[in-house]
Amino acid sequence: MSKPVFPVHPVLLVDDDKDLLRSYVYTLRADGITNVITCEDGAEVEAVMKEHEFDAVLLDLNMPCLSGRDVLPLILQRNPDLPVIVVTGVDEVDTAVKCMRAGAFDYMVKPVPEEHLLAGLRRALDVRDVRRENTLLTRHLLSTELTQPEAFNDLLTCDANMRSLFQYIEAIAGTPQPILVTGETGVGKELIARAIHLASGRKGEFVPVNIAGLDDNVFSDTLFGHVKGAFTGAVEPRKGLIERAEGGTLFLDEIGDLNSMSQVKLLRLVQEREYFALGSDSAKRTNARIVVATNRNLQVLQRSGDFREDLYFRLRSHHVNVPPLRERRGDLHLLLDHFLARSATDMNKKKPTPPPELVTLLSIYSFPGNIRELQAMCYDAVSTHKGGVLSMNTFRDAIAREQGSVPEIPSISTPAPDFLNPEHPLPSIRQAERLLIEEALRRTDGNQTMASQLLGITRQTLNRHLKNKRSEEENAP
């Protein structure tokens, strides 16, 4: 496996001292900053910047051909958001003030202690990420088009809120910060995580792992691996999934179930980008992107002490909340058609034709299992399908097992009828019946069979009420 490259775009080191440049490179690479380009002549910086995009610059101030004082404005004129750290032997307050006013990110006096140099450069890289992220967010929020629609091919939707979610994902996908994906069970959180990976353009793998029920040792071994002799039975070294995800994305599902000891190790991984294999005293660095998901409320877990506060805030640098299926009912026909076609293909059958009433039936069901539940319904229906129009019985039976024989209206916030307001007069029984019938027909798009089921009456009784209403309207003066 190739060595991880960090950061995504190189760090530019500009100094006329070759030995010092070599020392900088060794120091940075030892700390995991492996993507480095050096330049010994200030006059060459402009040409180098035309060939590469950089994440940070270390700039010497006193150079023979073109000094750092002259190079600094050239860099910032070309890229105002690029953090430039001035490193010089000139220990003068006036010079430092002039450099900072000219736009330098930091000012360090040689000889610079390694830990001070590395800390300053890490801060600069973090600031660069934030600036890049803000630029991307602004660009995507002002645009209505997706720049990478192919990243979302597995997510079928015509919902406006989902499209806005895709735009947000595109805006944050390129940053290295962790992403928290939340949503009810079955909404497709892993598909969202895969879309984040595809939209990021990362060359490494997408590595998913479900960490629910893993104790600390299994969690550590799975993610970080172990060295030979780390424990009884460890006769060979083993690489963890974090190493497999180098240059890519590590997706941790069910993060809300992670035990407290493992939370400490994950915090170090997220915060320091480093980890220890079991049995090893040497830290390894990683540039894998961390995406986590849960259907639990981490804020509640954090307040109860079951989830670390510092880890919670680290993980939700970006937050993607996937809406449940009941909030995107316009996608039902797309998903139904897709799952019927897929299940027919898997069973080597001809895709069945669903009755028009099926979408109406599904639209008045709350789908506690979301898209996964709809998929299971479709597979069950196709497995028993013999030919002709698809029967609705399997769908009815599935809904009845979940909530009873009659589909109920999903629990959504709707305004109360006017007659429930104490300031309005009560309608008569006949008027109330008409209001209920009209509302049931509205919610079922005029389907009388579905409306009668919502009202708990027979189709014949509903027809009789409708006929009486039409007769009264025709005989009205």
**Same structural domain for residues 159 and 302?**
yes
Rounded mean pLDDT of 285-291?
92
* Burial of 77 from C-beta contacts in 10 A (0-12 / 13-18 / 19+): exposed
In a domain, 145, yes or no: no
CATH number of the domain residue 453 falls in: 1.10.10.60
Helices (H) and strands (E) in the chain, counts: 19, 14
Contacts for 350-356 with beta carbons within 8 Å, 24 or more apart? 352/381, 352/382, 352/385, 352/388, 352/389, 352/390, 353/388, 353/389, 353/390, 354/389, 354/390, 355/389, 355/390, 355/392
Rounded mean pLDDT of 308-329?
93
Of the candidate ranges 26-40, 196-210, 373-387, 447-461, the one whose mean pLDDT is the lowest:
447-461
End of a domain among 116, 137, 158?
137
In a domain, 4, yes or no: no
In a domain, 1, yes or no: no
Bigger pLDDT: 456 vs 272: 272
What's 61-75 look like in SS3? CCCCCCCHHHHHHHH
Task: Name every residue whose Cβ is closer than 8 Å to that of residue 351 and which is 6 or more positions away in sequence.
Answer: 340, 341, 344, 345
In a domain, 246, yes or no: yes
Smallest CA-to-CA distance from 42 within 59, 22, 24 is with 59
pLDDT number for residue 472: 72
**Residue 273's pLDDT band (cuts 50, 70, 90):** confident
Rounded mean pLDDT of 7-17?
92
CATH number of the domain residue 347 falls in: 1.10.8.60
Rounded mean pLDDT of 368-378?
95
End of a domain among 300, 323, 346?
323
Bigger pLDDT: 432 vs 47: 47
In a domain, 411, yes or no: no
Q: Residue 36 in contact with residue 13, Cβ under 8 Å?
A: yes
pLDDT number for residue 413: 40
- Report the C-alpha gap between 321 and 165 in whole angstroms: 8
Q: How far from chain centre, in Å, is Cα 206?
A: 13
pLDDT number for residue 417: 56
C-alpha dihedral (29, 33, 34, 38), degrees to nearest 10: -90
In a domain, 3, yes or no: no
**pLDDT cut 70: percent of the chain above it:** 91
Q: What φ, ψ does residue 51 adopt, rounded to 5°?
A: -90, -25
In a domain, 475, yes or no: no
**Same structural domain for residues 81 and 185?**
no
pLDDT at 41 over 50: yes
Bigger pLDDT: 145 vs 114: 114
Query: What does the mean pLDDT of the chain come to?
Result: 87
pLDDT number for residue 3: 56
pLDDT number for residue 55: 93
**Same structural domain for residues 294 and 172?**
yes
**Residue 141's pLDDT band (cuts 50, 70, 90):** low
- Tokens at residue 72, please? 């600094």
**Same structural domain for residues 55 and 30?**
yes
pLDDT number for residue 409: 39
Phi-psi region of 180 (alpha: psi -120 to 50; beta: other; left: phi over 0): beta
- Report the C-alpha gap between 438 and 455 in whole angstroms: 11
- Report the C-alpha gap between 293 and 288 in whole angstroms: 16
**Same structural domain for residues 193 and 340?**
no
Q: Reduce the DSSP state of residue 159 to 3 states and report it.
A: coil
Q: Residue 351 in contact with residue 388, Cβ under 8 Å?
A: no
Q: What is the pLDDT of residues 396-426, one digit of tens each?
A: 899 888 876 544 434 334 444 565 556 666 7
Bigger pLDDT: 7 vs 372: 372
**Residue 466's pLDDT band (cuts 50, 70, 90):** confident
CATH number of the domain residue 318 falls in: 3.40.50.300
**Same structural domain for residues 338 and 289?**
no
Number of domains in the chain: 4
pLDDT number for residue 364: 85
In a domain, 476, yes or no: no
Bigger pLDDT: 173 vs 456: 173
**Same structural domain for residues 359 and 238?**
no
pLDDT at 470 over 80: no
**Same structural domain for residues 37 and 169?**
no
Bigger pLDDT: 415 vs 163: 163
**Residue 325's pLDDT band (cuts 50, 70, 90):** very high
End of a domain among 264, 297, 323?
323
Task: Name every residue whose Cβ is closer than 8 Å to that of residue 284 and which is 6 or more positions away in sequence.
Answer: 243, 274, 275, 276, 277
**Same structural domain for residues 110 and 247?**
no
- Report the C-alpha gap between 244 and 222 in whole angstroms: 11
Rounded mean pLDDT of 242-251?
94
**Same structural domain for residues 342 and 381?**
yes
Domain boundaries, position 199: 150-323
- Tokens at residue 157, please? 């939707």
**Same structural domain for residues 376 and 272?**
no
**Residue 386's pLDDT band (cuts 50, 70, 90):** confident
- Tokens at residue 78, please? 């070309």
The DSSP code for 295 is S
pLDDT number for residue 14: 95
CATH number of the domain residue 86 falls in: 3.40.50.2300
pLDDT number for residue 156: 92
**Same structural domain for residues 399 and 281?**
no
Residue 8: what residue type?
V
Of the candidate ranges 61-65, 416-420, 456-460, the one whose mean pLDDT is the lowest:
416-420
